Amino acid sequence: MEELTLTTPALLFSAISLIMLAYTNRFLAYAAVIRNLRDKYMEQRDESLIEQIKNLKLRLNLTRWMQIFGITSLLLCVLTMFLIYIDQHVLAIWIFGIALLLLIISLALLIKEIQISTQALKLHLSDIEKHLNK
């Protein structure tokens, strides 16, 4: 097996940073939508808004876990670099492997969240289509 060097975990820094930026943007967008839905619900008490709020709560929770796994992955990449620096190569390889697994989990959660988001948007589109066909 090829030796793990400082540059290998460092390569993930830019990728993880961009992913975290995307996750943060999703989180902020959900926060804004939730605030708007809350205000709407306080005015109308519409049951359809409760379903949207539940959907957003699930998506927000997924986004939180995506962020946690992504940040932990980044922290373990930094730890890997430190372990390489102090000549703890075997431990560095294991820690880097765990960092990669956490990044995989984070990305898998992103796929799940995108599927839920797509379903929610399809419901909105079908509601619009119903009103157009009347």
pLDDT for res 2? 63
Looking at residue 108, its pLDDT comes to: 96
Under 8 Å between Cβ of 68 and 21: no
pTM of the predicted model, to two decimals?
Answer: 0.79
Query: What is the pLDDT confidence band of residue 134, given thresholds at 50, 70 and 90?
Result: low
Q: What is the pLDDT of residues 80-122, one digit of tens each?
A: 999 999 999 999 999 999 999 999 999 999 999 999 988 877 7
Mean pLDDT, rounded, for 46-70: 86
- Give the position of tokens 């957003």: 56
